[in-house]
Structure 1
Amino acid sequence: MYVRASTRRTRDGQVVRYLQLAHNEWDPIAKASKTKVLYSFGREDQLDRDGVRRLVAALSRLLDPDEALAATAEAGLSFVESRPVGGAWLLDGLWRRLGIDTTIAAAVRGRAGDADLERVLFALTANRALHACSKLAAADWVTHDVHIPGLPAVSDDVCYRAMDRLIEIEPQLTRRVYDRVADLLNLQVDLLFFDTTSTYFELDEADELLWRDERGTVVDEGAPQAVKQAGFRAYGKSKDHRDDLPQVVIGMAVTREGIPVRCWVWPGGTTDSALIRQVKDDMREWCLARIVWVADRGFTSAENRRYLQRAGGHYILGEKLRSGSAEATAAFSRQGRYATVAGNLQVKEVKLGDLADDRFIICYNPEAAERDRSVRERLVALLTERITGSDELSVTKRAELRGVISTKPGLNRFLRVTPGGLLRVDQAAIKAEEHLDGKYLLRCSDPKLSTEDIAVGYKQLLEVERGWRDMQQIIDLRPVYHRREDRIRAHVLLCWLALLLIRIAETTTGDTWKTIRTNLDRIHLGTFHGPAGTFHQRTELNPAQKKTFTTLGLTEPPRVFDATPAA
């Protein structure tokens, strides 16, 4: 298929050219190739060039980006390669808007060998968001598989050195990032959500004991408040249900808009009580205004609550429904009407009088209640099946069955053992559970927040859980390919920076990162070589790609990046 030009002479003697899209077909009868015209463009001097460009762009979308670039190469040019550029370009724009580039540059100014540190750290952050892999593979990815603005290539040694420097500048970087994010996005930090997760390591043994201060920082043996504690990768209660493997604990503070403003990493055996106190102290150093902390049931101890209220702070905490505490029991015994707030969520505040100074709010979700009922019926049916006929077993065999059921919390909750050692379904436990279907209890210390704000605020804790989910699935927090404590901390910081950029892109555009990334990955930068030299040119942008850059207020990648004359 080709463009054929033909000439004609007009009545006034002017010679004009006509353009046609044609291709040759074999005529089996004439046994010769004949030209077939597919479309006539008309006179060359009256050609609708904009229309031709739109046609070329439409046809190019049917090809892979590199094929489209090769197909549009001008005569005399050879197509060398193409690399995706759209995702990295967008992330780099957000990175610069937040001032991360200038913050890193200022922190390392005057340090020999740190000229490219900012670009390397950006490349490692972009790698987590676009193509998460080990640092060794990331170096190869930067060098051969993607276009990172300002960084044509990098080695794995340089990547590791950059991670080491990242830990040194962490305090300045996290504070600067928060200030810029709060200013640019006009964030509300009156509600700050906090939660933890853990990630494990495929190790046979935990790290050796180390001397640490009260904040968990490694210190010398004779330092003040130094205590010999577990190594960084240590055994603890695993949220991945891998208590058999060493782990580290990771905490994250998120705003109500879902923006992660800071993260922490602790040794694997650190308790929740110690975690939230350090987080409270660290955020206080930022001199923020009034903050209401929102945290899950793991942080409800009296000591934690007192600590969060220091310096005028307040909290919204989930209460354990089955804890048997006097407050929880009294709250569910109070009568009152529910009021419907956001969606189908129903809430009511109960007064406990002298029993507690806090406010207690019972939340009820009808859809969750139906799910709870369905799950309980399934568990009871399974338990009934397990213990049917157990009366005929010997005492020893029945005890063995009892032991097996005790390892399954869902079934064990509804099991009752009679004084004679017989196994029965506990109808009283079932009735008690029915009373809790679809409900959860909140404790709040702020007397000014409305009941709706308390309930909706706690519901938004799901944003933190979503952050953990994306950490695991999109950014690939695990596996962690590092053994040194500082490198593990740096790895988590890179994951946090990647998640921060992703969340800003998502909240601004309203699209998921998967959709944004897939669309932008189709923007490629092609390398062409010819007699005059080498130059780089990107593919045409489609309307969705243009809209993404416009919505984020970022400039589009230039059509031609650079040109290198032939020697």
Structure 2
Amino acid sequence: MFIKLTTARGHQYVQLVESYRNEEGKARQRTIATLGRLDDAGGQVDALLASLLRAKGRGTEVAGPQVAFESALTLGDVWALHGLWQEVGFDSLAGVFRKARYTTAVEHAIRVMVFNRLCDPDSKLGVLRWLETVSLPEVDTKALTHQQLLRSMDALMDHQDAVEAVVARQLKPMVDQDLSLVFYDLTTIRVEGQTELSDDVRHYGMSKEGMVARQFMLGVVQTAEGLPIYHEVFDGNQSETATLLPTIRKVLARYPHIRKLIIVADRGLLSLDNLEELLALKLDEGQTLEFILAVPARRYGEFHDILQRFNDTITDQENETISETRWQDLRLVVAHNPQTAQHQTEWRRSKIKELENKADQWASKLDGQDSGKVSRGRRLSDSGAKARFYHEVKQAHLAKIIKVDLTSDLFTYQIDEKALKQAELVDGKLLLVTNANEFTPKEVVERYKSLADIERGFKVLKSEIEIAPVFHRLPHRIKAHAMICFMALILYRIMRHRLRLANTGLSPERALAQLRRIQRHQVKVNDQTVEGVSTVSKEQSGVLSALKLKKPSMPEQLTLL
């Protein structure tokens, strides 16, 4: 028997029909009973179904399956980061902590904190709130507590050498063995709090933003392809030049397979002592360490004759001019950018003119006061005018050109024309010292200009990853925070490299924002729970393809028929 629907006078009726064979053996159908109208809510059909459900012990609802949407968690961005984490091999950090017999999943906690830096950077308590909104593969997020996150940071520092060795081992295949051009630079990271502890890295120093702040310094080494391979935390008041050689030695120790190393560093890291020690430094196979260093502007005066001769040879006022000479048995490459030179010269002359106008106004007011003329505002003195003018000259970094006579009783100053010509001589100039002989002068300049990429990495650390300000009080947790942010930067740069190769035009943050819309849904249908992933759009599929990752999926998904 089966149910048959028939229509009569605009209504649908439910009939119970039986199939049978007549005396001739032919298949026929006959109606056993009409159960009632289908479109009659609460009528005979519904009553019959309710009776049958009660007999089966399933209740009396007959309106269809009961659906409850229990959760919708973000999946796409953490899925992508999870895939990269495993591909790079950072999940092997778990072995470090297993050997140390930790009873909690320290690697999972570290993974969570790294992913949070890239998805929604927050405090450690904020990490727990963020975990409530995401579906992180493999990690039991409900078991993590605030204390476990902090203890995992402690474990990270307790086994720092082993952890850094694992990170270096996983990055080695990505580092060129024959010729490794590496870039090194430092930035300052602001910290909060006033407590002072032994072995503290927090000290007052001049920040990169040009103000005195309590801070620590972070040095980062990256390859020419933009892959960070090493980081180091230094005291906030340490000089930049003192960090270069220790960092190089540690990089060589971490990556002994490198046959050749060329270090590129900013002009703040050059000193005569550094040059002598750099030239004396050898790689494992006896090769001399090669470097490309920029001469700091404060030392351009030592190269006046070289710059003057170079200036006399410049004929092209539209394009960059590059030349090479020798200095202390090293190559000295000089580059001149006419657009930059014009901009710097015009700015300086306009600033000098502005200061001269102010000086004339103050001198005129002083002369008027001496002759008995009454003017608006407070009375001005020669000493006050000297102090105000000197302060503004210092603020404009023109004290070498505008000489304020602080010993005179009267307000006087003069323009040092020789210093002005010297300043204009170096406008638009870049001086590079190198012992690398395989590069042409143009290639030396190009390699150095690539250093700007590591500065962009610092901007990523301070903006997208939000490394600062740091609120941790204990020095080892400050270092652990820096390491977590460094590992996040590694994943960020790998994403950036793959997105660029695929010509997506997307930054890692925009790619993660697109993937963030992929969600893991949990639906309860009657007594059965069903999990599934939202539909992956064409754009999201393109991002995953560019990152060389599979589409998100749920194990043992159920399909309702």
Relative to the length of structure 1, the TM-score reads 0.76
In the alignment, is the contact (CA less than 8 A) between 1:391 and 1:423 conserved in 2?
Answer: no
Aligned partner of 1:23 in structure 2 is none
Determine helix, strand or coil for the equivalent of 1:232.
coil
**Equivalent residue, structure 2, for 1:266:** 234
User: Per-residue displacement from partner, 1:85-104 (whole Å, max 9, x unpaired)?
Assistant: 111111111111111101x1
- Would you say 1:305 and 2:272 are equivalent positions? no
The structure 1 residue matched to 2:507, chosen from 512, 518, 535, is 512
Does 2:236 correspond to 1:276? no
Picking from 150, 155, 164, the partner of 2:138 is 150
Matches for 1:193-212 after TM superposition, within 5 Å: 193-204=183-194, 207-210=196-199
- Structure 2 residue 150 is the aligned partner of structure 1 residue 160: yes
CA deviation map 1:173-218 (0-9, x unaligned): 333333433424768862110011111223346x2454xxxxxxxx
1:236 aligns with 2:223: no
Amino acid at match of 1:293: I
Equivalent residue for 1:398?
Answer: 385
Secondary structure of residue in 2 paired with 1:554: coil
> What residue is the counterpart of 2:426 in the other structure?
436
8 Å Cα contact 1:383/1:425 also seen in 2: no
Aligned counterpart in structure 2 of residue 290 of structure 1, from 255, 260, 281: 260
3-state DSSP of counterpart to 1:410: coil
2-structure distance, mates of 1:428, 1:297: 25
**2:291 matched to 1:323?**
no
Contiguous gaps of at least 5 residues in structure 1: 1-5, 9-73, 211-230
Q: How far apart are residue 516 of structure 1 and its match?
A: 0.8
Q: Which residue of 2 aligns with 1:521?
A: 516
What is residue 58 of structure 2 aligned with on the other side?
none
What is residue 490 of structure 2 aligned with on the other side? Answer: 500
What does 1:112-127 align with in structure 2 at a 5 Å threshold? 112-127=101-116
Residue in 2 that maps onto 1:136: 125
Distance in 2 between residues matched to 1:348 and 1:541, nearest whole Å: 54
Query: 1:189·1:255 contact (CA, 8 Å) conserved in 2?
Result: no
For residues 230-273 of structure 1, the C-alpha deviation after alignment (integer angstroms, 9 at most, x for no partner) is x3211223223331x32111100011111111111012122223
Report the Cα distance in structure 2 between the residues aligned to 1:75 and 1:543, rounded to whole angstroms.
Answer: 32
Distance 1:542 1:525, change over 3 A: same
Q: How far apart in 1 are the matches of 2:315 and 2:108? A: 53
Structure 1 pair 93–389 and aligned structure 2 pair: CA distance change class (3 A): same
Query: Secondary structure of the residue that 2:206 maps to in structure 1?
Result: coil
Once residues 374 and 521 of structure 1 are traced to their aligned partners in structure 2, the CA distance between those partners, rounded to angstroms, is 48
The size of the alignment, in residue pairs, is: 464
Distance in 1 between residues matched to 2:157 and 2:398, nearest whole Å: 46
Cα shift readout 1:148-185 (whole Å, capped 9, x = no counterpart): 11223221111111111112333233333334334247
CA distance in 2, matches of 1:185, 1:277: 20
Task: Determine if the alignment matches structure 1 residue 382 to structure 2 residue 349.
Answer: no
Which secondary structure does the structure 2 equivalent of 1:412 belong to? coil
What whole-Å deviation, never above 9, does each CA across 1:340-360 have from its counterpart, x for those lacking one? 9xx9643211234xxx11111
Measure the CA separation in 2 of the matches of 1:201 and 1:178.
28
Give the C-alpha shift of residue 476 in structure 1.
Answer: 0.4
Deviations 1:382-410 (A, max 9, x none): 32332222334343233222332244043
User: Are the structure 2 counterparts of residues 75 and 531 from structure 1 closer, same or farther at C-alpha, using a change threshold of 3 Å?
Assistant: closer
User: Following superposition of structure 1 onto structure 2, how do residues 11-410 of structure 1 map, counting pairs within 5 Å?
Assistant: 76-102=66-92, 104-142=93-131, 144-151=132-139, 152-153=141-142, 154-184=144-174, 190-204=180-194, 207-210=196-199, 231-243=200-212, 245-286=213-254, 287=256, 288-309=258-279, 310-311=281-282, 312-326=288-302, 328-335=303-310, 345-352=320-327, 356-392=328-364, 393=366, 394-410=381-397
The Cα offsets for residues 102-152 of structure 1, whole Å up to 9 and x where unpaired, read as 1x111112444444221111110000011001011112211x111211223
The answer on whether the counterparts of 2:386 and 2:404 sit within 8 Å (CA) in structure 1 is no
Bigger shift: 304-313 or 454-463? 304-313
CA contact (8 A) 2:293 2:433 kept: yes
Counterpart code for 2:133: D
User: What is the aligned-residue RMSD (CA, Å)?
Assistant: 2.8
Match of 2:377 in 1: none
Counterpart secondary structure, 1:351: strand
Structure number with bigger Rg: 2
Taking the TM superposition and a 5 Å limit, the aligned residue runs for 1:461-476 are: 461-476=451-466
**SS of corresponding position for 2:472:** coil
Secondary structure of the corresponding residue to residue 236 of structure 1:
strand
The 1:134–1:378 alpha-carbon spacing in structure 2 relative to 1, beyond 3 Å, is: farther
Decide whether aligned partners of structure 1 residues 382 and 357 sit closer, same or farther in structure 2, where only a CA change above 3 A counts. Answer: same
| Contact 1:187/1:255 (<8 A) preserved | no
Q: 1:396 to 1:138 in 2, by over 3 A?
A: same
Residues 523 and 531 in structure 2, CA contact (< 8 A), matched pair in contact too: yes
Opposite residue 513 of structure 1, the aligned amino acid is P
Name the aligned partner's letter for residue 538 of structure 1. V
Which residue is equivalent to 1:486? 476
1:368 aligned counterpart, secondary structure: helix
CA contact (8 A) 1:81 1:527 kept: yes
Please list every run of at least 4 consecutive aligned residues from structure 1 whose deviation after the TM superposition is greater than 6 angstroms.
none
The aligned amino acid for 1:319 is V
User: Structure 1 271/529 Cα, relative in aligned 2: closer, same or farther at 3 Å?
Assistant: same
> Is 2:533 the counterpart of 1:538?
yes
Paired letter, 2:323: K
2:402 pairs, out of 415, 438, 450, with 415
What is the alpha-carbon distance in structure 1 between the residues aligned to residue 326 and residue 275 of structure 2? Answer: 19
The 3 A distance-change label for structure 1 pair 174 and 424 is same
Q: Is the 8 A contact 1:536 1:563 kept in 2?
A: yes
| 1:62 alignment partner in structure 2 | none
Tell whether the 8 Å contact from 2:94 to 2:105 is kept in structure 1 after alignment. Answer: no
Identical pairs, percent? 23
- TM-score, normalized by length of structure 2? 0.76
Distance 1:360 1:125 in 2: 42
Return 386-395 or 437-446, whichever deviates more. 386-395
> How far does residue 518 in structure 1 lie from its aligned partner after superposition?
1.6
